[in-house]
Amino acid sequence: MNTPNQNIKPITTKINSNGNIEIGGCDLAELANKYGTPLYIYDEQTIRSITKSYKDAFKNYPMVNMMFAAKAFMTKSICKIMRQEGFGLDLCSGGEIYTAKAAGFDMTKALFNGNNKSYDDILLAIKCDIGTISVDNFFELALLNNVAKSENKSIRILLRITPGIECHTHEYIQTGHLDSKFGFDLTQIDEAIELIKDEYKNLNLIGLHAHIGSQIFETKVYNDEIDVIFKEIKRIKEKHGIILKEVNLGGGLGIKYTEKDNPISIYDFADVITNAIDTYSKQYEIEKPVIFIEPGRSIVGTAGVTIYTAGSSKQVPHGRKYFAVDGGMSDNARPSLYQAEYTVEIANKANDTTQEEVTIAGKHCESGDILAKDIKLPIIEEGDIICFYTTGAYGYSMSSNYNRVLKPAAVLVNNGKSDIIINRQSYEQLCESDVIPERLN
């Protein structure tokens, strides 16, 4: 069964009677005129459709809990949608914790994850009554226990492990292989458990956590991950007499950015996981645990697009034709960081069949600020609205003020209605944290 992560465009995308691209019943050219550009646009129906697909795909394994990986796109409005759809949150910073709490999220359904949590981060998590903390290393075990002891709290923890599995994705987004900054090596687990048993009395070990990477198209890696984790659960039970009842498998399911991408469906993803749980729980003679899944990119990636206004152009003699837009690497770092590719259309020329090869450049003072290289588009003119699909994940999350460029606004669209969910940054806000020492005046 096809699921939205296998589409390039939001499920409500169509060409309207004006010949313009429409998403969520809203004309993109009209949104550009109303809110300005660059502009992040999120289709609410696509987000909710994907969350429902995840829950439906795992309906035959009732002990599965869905946790939205908030690093993909974290706002108070998204927290509201996730809570309405019955999702928990996977959080990885104090800022994400604060945002979730400010949105009124039930923090007992949140997990705090990360490889270098600070004292302040941990204290905030505990004071917000976060449900579980995934512990990444020995330093954090000691720090977490000290903070929990000072707050007179017992904290549910998972030990994050590196299962030694590499997926075929960009090396920057592989996290489960042995040479990784994340998690305990399997050879360190016994020492960690002994510390928890003997010294860290404010920590309650309830399970293991592993995450093998992001933008994954394979299925076997999830089978292998469960094999490693369940084997370790059996070994821990036999050696330490501890029965671990919860397992966080991470997320990482890929999405379709261009026609070259071929991600698996959410239903195929669920089948691999549930079948592996059946197989390895029997093989290792352990009780089936409560499972947590952490989709992020596959929840919001396809649901989001970014629109820009075309500006200057340049034809290199005997070379490329460049068109610059009013955004770039400050609102979408992925092309510069990962050499990411996107599907691009002109929102106000959806029916135009003319074609020319162009390169879309950003406005920043960097030669590497290229959003799309050597793509075919209709003839671009100044003022055209350029739409980049599948930018819903890691666009805003990775945005910056490089060159002191303002961060864009974001809107949520549904049934012809558009609502601001992130205000466009102002110059006043850009400078509000700047301080001039008295001696400079």
Tell me whether residue 327 is exposed, middle or buried, using C-beta atoms within 10 angstroms of its C-beta: 0 to 12, 13 to 18, 19 or more. buried
Torsion of CA 155, 270, 302, 333, to 10 degrees: 50
What is the SS3 assignment for 429? helix
Contact 64, 86 (CB under 8 A): no
Hey, which residues does 21 pair with through a beta bridge? 15
Q: How far apart are CA 94 and CA 100, in angstroms?
A: 10
**Quick one: tokens of 164?**
């030694």
128 is catalytic: no
Q: How far apart are CA 134 and CA 248, in angstroms?
A: 9
**Quick one: tokens of 291?**
């499972």
Q: What percent helix, strand, coil does the chain show, rounded to 5?
A: 35, 25, 45
Task: State how far Cα 68 lies from the chain centre.
Answer: 8
From the candidates 26, 92, 365, 387, which is the catalytic residue? Answer: 365
H/E element holding 99?
helix 94-102
The catalytic residue positions are 365
